[in-house]
Amino acid sequence: MKISPEQAGIPSYRELRRVPGLHRQEVAQLAGVSTDHYTRVERGSIRGVSESVLEAVAAVEATA
């Protein structure tokens, strides 16, 4: 199920959303990492990423 930013407890970055669910910036914010860092993890460039970051991102994506 796709959740809205409001359901996740964060403000929406844009009013108009082309796709349901959270944007990269919102997932990164909830995981406590930078958008750039999250984008690299998302693309599979995870060399040097800590286990705690991977767990945080996985937890956010599991709820989204």
Q: Is the dihedral of CA 17, 52, 62, 5 positive or negative?
A: negative
Distance CA 59, CA 53 (A): 10
- Helix, strand or coil for residue 8? helix
pLDDT string in tens for the chain (64-residue length): 466 777 777 766 556 667 767 888 888 988 999 999 888 888 887 787 888 988 888 888 777 6
Q: What is the pLDDT of residue 35?
A: 92
pLDDT of residue 18: 74
For the entire predicted model, the pTM comes to 0.70
